[in-house]
Every structure is written in C-alpha cells, then in structure tokens.
Structure 1
C-alpha cells in the first residue's frame, strides 16, 4: 500500500496581521519537509474571506490541513468543508458554530482589552457608502496583541496592521467543519486580544486536541513558532 501524500499546511492569518506573521512557523514546518502555503486573508467579511480560503485550499493538489489564527479560525471553520481538507488547527482562535457570529461567541465571556482599544476608519465600497474597518490603537498594540514579543518588533507590527471590516463581527458562520473534520487547538494563556476562555470554550465544543501555552500572547505564532509548528506537525502526521 502506498503512503498517502503529506498534507499541505495552509496558514490563515487573522486581523491586524498579515501572512508574514507566520514566518517562524513556516521555517519550522519547511525544516520538517511539510509543504506550506500562507495566503493573504482579505479581512473584508466572514463569508467572502472563507470563500477565498476555500478556493485556495481546493486548488492545492492533495490533502490540506487548514490552520487559522484568531479571526482566521472563524474562516477555516467555514472553508474547512472543502473536499480536500482533512484537518483543522486553531491557533489562539475563534472556533465558531454554524449560525454563530464572532460577536455572539465573544459576548458569552468578559471582554478582552482589545474591545476598548479598537480604532475605527472607513474604506471605499464600489457603488455603496464607505464601510467601517478597525485596527488596534498603535500605543495599545504591544500590550493587547504581542506582550511577549520584543518591543522593537511590536513597534513595526503596530504600524503594519491590516484592518478588519467591522461587519466581520456580526456575520454568521454558514458551516462548522469541525463537526466532520478532526481538529487541534492552541490556547494562548495570556491572550489580551481574545479572552482565553473564548478559545478554551470553542476548542472543547469542537472536541479538539488542546495544547495551552502559559504566558503566551495573542501573537503566539510570532513569539512561540516552534510550539505552534509542533501542533501543526501533529495534525499533519495524524491526517497523513
């Protein structure tokens, strides 16, 4: 019997970040011979962004393990229904249920410091009124997003944020792929962007294999790339 091909890890970044936030994790996975793709996430809305990620995954030859950080977790929950997706890995992420929004899931738990440190701006929408998008106040960014990342790095990340469309908080998930796919989850124990209780609740509900990193900030993929990559490797091995 021939061994099945090694799944490709597709790394989906969340809000206020870009695919470069996976750099350390990518290097770790590549050093273990795991194929990786880290696509851009448009950050314009749950349905549209999930469709984009599903399209990326379905064009990859062979099996795919979808990995989602933060808001990216909501996207892989929907996009994970693509036929060639064999596993899901949530990294300090939202794990939504079908018909649930980010706002609803968050609303069950005390707010994180992120909520009071969001800055609003607008962006043009063709044929419609400008829409609202949010970023983290640059002064609050280090403490809220990346408290365990060196200050020189967070100063750069704070001004290179990718904004998230505010509408993404109220859109509901059209599917919950964890109901039909095995899942893994990493909880960042000192997360100030998503309440760690939100991460624990979603992971438990999904029946995920959970690893918790004590003292890890929301930017755990930047600060602890080896541990994040180890969990992804576990998922890739289990689904190979």
Structure 2
C-alpha cells in the first residue's frame, strides 16, 4: 500500500500497529495502513491480507477502530464524518470479498456512526489515492463538476405556485400565499398589509355577528321574576 500513501498533508501520524494492538485487532488479516484527516472528513485506510480466518471478528474490529477514532477526534473538537476505506486485493477469497462488500449496506451494524467504502485494483476509477484526494480535499475539489447558481425570483415563485396547486389548503391559506408571492414579485409589503387588514375585518364581522346572536338569545330567554 506504500504507493497509495503519499498523503503527508493529511496523514495524522498515529502509530497504526500500536493502535491495532490496543484495540485487539492484530493478526486477523486486517492492516491499518494509515489515518488521514482534513477539515472535511476523517478516513481510516485498511487493507486485507491474503488469508482472513475470522471475518465476523474482523468486522467488529473495523467498527471498534472507527468509533474509537470518531470519539477521540471529538475530544479534540473535531466533529467530522468518519469513513473506513477498505482496499481488497483481487487475489482475496471471493467469499471474503463478498462479505466485506456487504458491510457498507449493513445499517444495523454501523448505525450511521461511520461509512464504509470498498476498493479493488480492478476499479480504476476508485484508485485509493484519488479517492482520498476527493474525500479529504476541499468541497470545491470533490464536487468541481457542480456549478451552483442562485435561483431567479421567477423560478422561486413558479416553484411555490406549482406546489400550491398540488396541495389542498383553505381559502385563507391560499390568499396568504398569494399575498406572499405578490411581495416577492413586486418587492413591497403592501400585499401582506392588505391581507392583514382583510383578516381584521373578517374578525370584526365575526365578533359583531356573535354579539347579535347573544342579543337574540337574551331577548328570547324568559325574564327572572323577583
């Protein structure tokens, strides 16, 4: 794995053998090649040896190491997504490769605490060093193909109108949304003020109607005789 480790900029410099001993993960067929961290992510790079005997125990060790690194980094104020990058040689046992490939989808295992990515020699688009550069580099480097543009106000209005047509809402709600759209389009708060004035008038009418109903009930109720 030496050819993949020209990553001194992000290499944490932890003695990986000592960490593997501390975590009880030595001699299981798993090698911790390096730990890398940037302000974007924390990555532990593993590689598998030719012979792996206890695949389930190996899985437990990967989780233990990644959770340990996550907790340790948080103690120093680094709250980052944690990624386990596992390099599996093409010569590895087919059953072992299949099981390791299934780890990433096992949500009951990682519970969102970390992510797993499995790389092989045959997948040239996922060369280890290239992948590390993409994951650890600035977002503009990792996602340079994305060109973000501010949305035009007309696009926003059109999007809201489209969603409103798909919703079942009250007349009052629809009138409020219409007033908000007018504000966006005209750049003035007058439509909202008009909407509020209309609602005040509605409330006054309801109060007046309620008062008249009370008067009618009092007029028809029998008077008390002293």
The reply to whether TM is greater than 0.5 is no
TM-score, normalised to structure 2, is 0.22
Q: Whose Rg is larger?
A: 2
TM-score, normalised to structure 1, is 0.21
Query: Counting helix residues as a fraction of each chain, which structure ranks higher?
Result: 2
Query: Counting strand residues as a fraction of each chain, which structure ranks higher?
Result: 1
Q: Which has the higher contact order (CA 8 A, sep 6+)?
A: 1
